Amino acid sequence: MTNGAVRVVAAGDHFVLPSLITRALAEETDVETRELTLGWPLEPFGPVAEVSEASDAEEELIGALDGAQVLVTQMGPVTERVLEACPALRLVVVCRGGPVNVNLDAARRHGVLVCFAPGRNAAATAEFTVGLLLAALRRIPQAHDLLARQGSWAGATYYTYEHSGLELEDLPVGLVGYGAVGSRVARVLCAFGARVMVYDPYVRGEVHGLRLTSLDDLLRRSAVISLHARLTEETRGLIGARELALLPPGAVVVNAARGPLLDEDALCDALGQGRLSAAALDTYAREPLPPDSRLRPLAGRVVLTPHLGGASRAVAQKAARIAAAEVGRWVRGEPLAHCLT
């Protein structure tokens, strides 16, 4: 197969734009590109047939893939039906940290390689996590709401000793997980002068801060904990009522990783009882956050954002470049860097 014979569908959306993918491909290799724009995030993702977190666009994808050997996408639903209808397809590159929108078993049966784009949002999520932490410690959203929305100078209450916030310098902060995001958060917090502690049984070598070998020990010693673990069967519900009870009174919980790492009911109980002073969350057990979530009435003590940790222009650009690099390797017959099938 010559380079010019390779046909690629750039099935982007309103975040990872098709034009970003096309531009990155042009810088990497010589291919024929067809663009398709899917609806996310203006239209929600969800389960599509047997895959999860995808745009409901099987028909559009099948039509665009006619005769194409390569698909680069973020939210395209690569289902059994799509794979069956597109026999020329040989490579799928997903512009995400994991190909949850791809039926991997079906891809193997059809001889389709599946790649992904790890690390694309690590810097953005780390920065957002620190922002959440600062917002929770210094009551920034609550003060903004009082002044900008309610026109009240009552935010001065936060200058009283009882209600004033905490500063990061000398504050003991525990990080649960030390991967691409957690390690970046650790470096930033160390620069602030925080006393960083790390628990991650899977990481070897040096860490920024003090490594602890026990999660319970980390919790007992942390005024703030920030979650950065991967979501697995082992880590689902990692922080529950027992773990939250180990934190010192008035502690703060931050989660910009995965919602199911944290027992939300236990968190709400701890906040409602005054055992925790605040929480800052970007991810939830159920997304979108249900209208009847117990977190909503606690808005005075929690910072809630709608899973925005990875929402930066640089993330979209990095995702396109990582995906294009994989396509370039495939075209040149080189080993793929991030391949699951």
**Is 0.85 surpassed by the pTM of this model?**
yes
Low-confidence residues in the chain, pLDDT < 70: 1-4
pLDDT, residue 4, reads 54
pLDDT, residue 159, reads 85
CA pair distance 81, 285, nearest whole angstrom = 29
Identified catalytic residue from 81, 96, 184, 258: 258
Identified catalytic residue from 90, 110, 294, 307: 307
Q: Using CA of residue 119, residue 51, residue 232, residue 335, what is the dihedral sign?
A: negative
pLDDT digits (tens, 9 = 90+) for 173-201: 999 999 999 999 999 999 999 999 999 99
251, containing H or E segment = strand 251-255
199: helix, strand or coil: strand
pLDDT digits (tens, 9 = 90+) for 304-321: 999 999 999 999 999 999
pLDDT, residue 158, reads 81
CA pair distance 311, 221, nearest whole angstrom = 32
pLDDT, residue 153, reads 87
Identified catalytic residue from 35, 60, 127, 287: 287
Identify whether 258 is a catalytic site residue: yes
CA pair distance 93, 323, nearest whole angstrom = 6
Identify whether 109 is a catalytic site residue: no
pLDDT, residue 309, reads 97
Identify whether 208 is a catalytic site residue: no
The DSSP 8-state label assigned to residue 278 in this structure reads: E
pLDDT, residue 163, reads 84
pLDDT, residue 254, reads 98
Q: Which domains does the chain have, with CATH numbers?
A: 3-120+312-332 (3.40.50.720), 122-304 (3.40.50.720)
Cis peptide bond N-terminal to 44, omega within 30: no
pLDDT, residue 3, reads 44
